[in-house]
Chains A and B, each alone.
Chain A
Amino acid sequence: MRLTTTGVAHNFEKSIVGVIAKEALPPDQRTRAIRFVGPNDAASDADLMGYRAILCHDELHRDPGMPYIHRLRESDHLRDGDIVVLEGRTGLVRSLYRPYELHHHLFVTERCNSNCLMCSQPPKDRDDVEALTERNLELIDLIAPHPPYLTITGGEPTLLGDNLFRLITQLKFSMPETELHMLTNGRTFAWPKYARRFADLDHPKISLGIPLYSDFAGAHDYVVQARGAFDQTVAGLHQAARNGIRVEVRVVLHKLTIPRLTKLVEYIYRNLTFVEHIALMGLEYTGYTPRNIAELWIDPYDYQDELEGAVEYLAVRNMTVSIYNHQLCVLRPSLWRFARKSISDWKTLYLPECETCSALPACGGLFQWAVKKHSDHIHAISSPQPCVVDQKCWST
């Protein structure tokens, strides 16, 4: 699903964040809203008063004397209640938050101190911290209703410095019941003072998702393109745990991580026993991945032995493990109960062969960008389908 559109902006320079209102609101409810004027929406001047800004799909024939963007290229994706940011200089309209989705994100920076070969969100070397922090503080203020889960992502969030603490404090204040998950490379947490300070935020429901790609330092460092990253990440995981911060380990599966996968999960069990979840994730064909595909690609069909071994290793040890971004038809049926529908709604795609598949309702599908590169073994599963049942549980 579309995230951005552009039009022609007038009457403002700085970006404006607000909630889309497709219908007219009573005057006292307009201060947080951006009024969207549709094709057949005959709004008078008075009808447009008091909003943060005006969006209009077509040409707005008179200047309402307030920030507005008109002549949008697309607007079908904008729904009532969406939170968007309008850019005055470029006329860009970016959707930041859509209440009806299952997965919600707070994107905090494009900067990163790693440069992973398969990064889906390649970092940019420009300082966006202040601008994005201001935008996100406004966004947090506008989000309603509060979602059960919210993922803080980047880039590397800890590069925000104090601004990250501002954001989390704000989240703790305005939606304390929302479970926060922060995707970070964990390196900054290697500094005991940082980990302690983060823990001192005392957010009741925050956890970290930290990637680890090998038990062998050099191999991890190569994947993330940063020397010493393994040492920092492992130390960071320990500092986090020592300070009572909950952590998840994430492993992206590709040709560089598969060979030592069993050894990596053994390393996690013996050295990072405290992690509360391990996510084994399929490669996303986006960002840097297409550039490095020759080095990264292995058909998931061809790593089922390694994946099954790793999952079995963790599961019998009572470690919680999940498989993300995999299609059921490519996974061994023994692994189905670990597979999660992990792909954000707007990124999900199903192929033509999926239409007749009997496992479709349970399948997480593909990333939309997988249309260009996916397993050669995707196929419709016909009935009677294999299904996973619990073996007779040993009585105890």
Chain B
Amino acid sequence: MARAFYPLEQFAGAPAGFHLLPFRFIRMNGKELLVNEAGEFLFAPPGTVQGLVDERLDTSTDLYRDLKAKHFVYDDSSSPLLDILATKVRTKFDHICGGTKLHIFVVTLRCEHSCDYCQVSRQTATRGEFDMSTSTADRAVAMMMDSPAREVTLEIQGGEPLLAFDVIQYIIPRAKRLAKEKGKNLDIVVCSNLACVTDDILMYFRDEGVKVSTSLDGPAFLHNKNRPRPGHNSYEKAIEGIERCRAILGMESVAALMTTTATSLDYATEIVDEYVRRDFHSIFLRPISPYGFAIKTRHRTGYEMGRFLEFYKKGLAHILDINRSGYRIAEVYTQILLTKMLTPHGTRYVDMQSPAGEAWNVLVYNYDGDVYASDESRMLAEMNDWTFRLGNVHRDTRRTLFTGDSALRMFHASCNQALAGCSDCAFQSYCAADPIYHHSTQGDMYGNRPTSGFCSRNMEVIKHLFSIIEENDRETMRIFWSWITGECVIEEVVECA
């Protein structure tokens, strides 16, 4: 005999009441944006949050069902599925598992450039004095390989590291041997201005599978203004170096980074166009770091965060236009934030994490063996501020680095979940804690959010991105997703005979 069917009310009746799950909200664009513990968001009509708090939201509406399906509320008509929510939260924080992945080696402080915004260069230094010694390199490589991470990246920088190519040649085989012994996958990147690069060096990089990261601040007039060197030919050297890298290492093996100086602010489109002209497919519109010499030379390089945000928005709009015309180029900061906002995952980008990525996900080994929580920490030390020096490779172990006073003081201020002004911020799960930035700019690792450039930058960028997301333009969203997934957008219909 066939079974009976039961009416809808037996399964999907409106519950009498509901319970709240953790969420935060912000009013923007005439709506309320609610964000749950796993970073899922919902644009809701004004008054929604009040209705939730007062428990008088109509439980028979689609809005209520949306809130329930997205883990903002639960009720007695079905399981809250807290295990699922827990899994989502865990997935978001997956990047903090596994130990320090990025290991930056400062093999020399020497550089032949004299950039205003540079923190640490030593043009006058003689060879040896500011280079990493072999015994320091040995200890640093051993400490790096003590990290429990299975995937580790060795990032070699300076100064200009190619001035200490012998140190590089000493470190790479040792790192490879130890990585193999410990069953780790090792990536190697060298950050160089490429002014002194030779084919012999590049062939060594090719043979060792080394990738190159270089600086390109924009078109020639801007790049050369930002990056003075004898001969005023930094740009020409960089372009020539990039092309030689591509010829010897392959197209994908060289990336470029830019720094935004006060002069750069007027040239957003020109900078982007330069990257396109040079056939790059990503660009990072990066504000200048308030560290090191950049603070000393603030009158020449510094600017208000408001001006940077204008620059960013103009640059992003131009980048989107270029993508619409068929050339793929991603803005890296946008890509990082979109990944946090639109996907179930976090990112490995160490400067935008909570708990902060410093030490947990990045360690810096200075030429003299001192170990810092980040590259910015090392720059502070060059200004005689040793707050974030965690120890020294000759005296410490991974354990003492992480349990020393420096580390513990920093860790206390490393979770935006527990920072005033962040703990109730709607954007908490997309944003980060940055104790080093706040120490540097405000003299306090915890920081004051209303006057924080870090906060105003991220609030504004995230709001800007949410406004674009809310418009939900199909083509723009496809471009955004192509940045997130790294996949090209396909599928177009044509009439064919």
Contacts and interface: CB of A to CB of B under 8 A. Distances in A.
Given A219-B12, A267-B69, A391-B490, A234 B84 contact: yes
Contacts, number: 128
12 contacts: A125-B3, A215-B65, A216-B65, A217-B77, A228-B79, A235-B83, A270-B88, A334-B491, A386-B495, A388-B493, A394-B482, A396-B488
Interface in A93-151: 115, 117, 122-123, 125
Interface string A245-279: 00000000000000010010001011101000000
Interface in B87-108: 87-88, 91
Interface in A188-244: 215-219, 221-222, 225, 227-228, 230-231, 234-235, 238
B12 A221 contact: yes
With most chain B CB atoms within 10 A of its CB, the pick from A216, A269, A333 is A216
Contacts of B487: 318
Contacts of A391: 489-492
A115 B6 CA distance: 10
Given A115-B5, A221-B12, A225-B6, 4 more contacts: A217-B68, A316-B482, A385-B496, A391-B490
B477 A316 contact: yes
A117 B12 CA distance: 15
Contacts of A387: 493-494, 496
Given A216-B69, A318-B485, A395-B328, A227 B11 contact: yes
A271 B88 contact: yes
Contact of B11 (A218, A260, A263): A218
A386 B491 CA distance: 12
Given A117-B5, A337-B491, A396-B328, A271 B84 contact: yes
With most chain A CB atoms within 10 A of its CB, the pick from B68, B78, B478, B495 is B78
Given A217-B77, A230-B78, A394-B482, A269 B493 contact: no
A388 B5 CA distance: 43
A269 B70 CA distance: 12
B344 A263 contact: no
A228 B78 contact: yes
Interface in A37-52: none
A384 interface: yes
A227 B10 contact: yes
B12 A216 contact: yes
Contacts of B494: 386-387, 389
A160 to B, nearest CB: 20
Contact of A115 (B3, B70, B87, B91): B3
Contacts of A392: 326
Interface in B30-88: 38, 40, 65-66, 68-70, 77-79, 81, 83-84, 87-88
Contact of B488 (A115, A235, A394): A394
Nearest to B282: A396
